[in-house]
Structure 1
């Protein structure tokens, strides 16, 4: 009786072990119904391939800059616990604009590189580069014990010579930001392009009924599978959380 009481008390005193969670930070290509008109983001389909829950914090129309300035990275930083994963993927909305649209970033990959842009009302605004915003988020997340993963943007339905065109500059910028901060980089652009190329242009085009950027649910699922393939071909610890359905996603390493 005495020994049983000790066991019960020990169990009650033991700290609760909280499950890890994957948080998603991105734009409409990741967000729920991000592109409208029946489209969906790939973040909605990742959870079916993992053994841990996914929380999709992606928001349509956001860039690395606007997601930062709106405090959305801060919300995730304040939410994560030790051991949680955070997948960060931007690029579609980070290009230059005139007048400033609140999303553009300074051209270049230097952390200290800045640019002065002009808003529609004439206000001058100092902006930083894509790696600046991503690196700052990664550094803060790591300080909380989270495990950030920097992922390159998805391809659009743009073809040349029977293949998806080469990725824009933000693909390289994402890799640079990951390298500088010592976190995993997933070449999502490359893995999705590989999937699309194998499916062919005709089939792939059915995934883009609204425009050349946003996917149908079927297309979003292919994009999610491509991210999982990128995990399986890499070294990040999140690959250990890929379930049997994830292990079976098509296509190989690039």
Structure 2
């Protein structure tokens, strides 16, 4: 489950969350497939566009979705940010959420650091609003440790879940519990933004 599926639970009843996320897309392929256009067709003044990519962009072995850090930055700026702004909406960039990747001391590493850096560059250059989900998720994972983090990510025993009869060890995707925790971190990040959305976090 993705964190977007749990986000509405952290906002008040006057807030509508339209989750357009779909697995396996990069900042580039999401645009090329017309998925951003579908959002821009309906977004308008008073709306927010939350954008978080990086995982699939970094997959150099997959030419359909690989997007270099420089191109990732360009897509964020020229397509997502510009598209939302042109329609009176407010873009909010999120750094890539952390994977379950830690050192020998159990401290979690920064996931996709080149892509994290590009979001920071855009903040510096444009003043765009940002939620540092990379730092927030890493701090949360550090606080619970690598073993407890298995309950956040898709670590399942055989027979535990029908979709994975043989079990699974996946350090990228979330169980429902993990998606909920990441949505909480996103909402906490939204709550401290100098924007009206902050007043709608529960």
Give the TM-score normalised by the residue count of structure 2. 0.85
2-structure distance, mates of 1:106, 1:196: 27
Counterpart mapping for 1:135-174 below 5 A: 135-136=77-78, 137-160=80-103, 161-168=105-112, 169-174=114-119
| Residue 184 of structure 1 pairs with residue 129 of structure 2 | yes
Counterpart secondary structure, 1:159: coil
Q: Equivalent residue of 2:18, what SS?
A: strand
Structure 1 residue 103 corresponds to structure 2 residue 65: yes
Structure with the bigger percentage of helix: 2
Aligned ranges 1:58-73 → 2 under 5 Å: 58-73=21-36
Aligned residues: 183
Name stretches of at least 5 consecutive residues in structure 2 with no aligned partner: 156-167
- How far did 1:96 drift? 4.9
Rounded to whole Å, the distance in 2 between the matches of 1:56 and 1:44 is 7
Matched, 1:216 2:168: no
- What is the aligned counterpart of 1:131 among 61, 73, 88? 73
Distance across 2 between alignment mates of 1:142 and 1:214: 31
Alignment check: 8 A CA contact 2:57 2:72 kept:
yes
Provide TM-score, normalisation by structure 1: 0.68
Q: CA RMSD in A?
A: 1.5
Q: Give the Cα–Cα distance (whole angstroms) in 1 for the partners of residues 183 and 68 of structure 2.
A: 29
Measured after TM superposition, the shift of residue 176 of structure 1 is: 2.0
Shift in alpha-carbon separation, 1:180–1:78, aligned structure 2, 3 A:
farther
Distance 1:54 1:234, change over 3 A: same
Structure having the higher Rg: 1
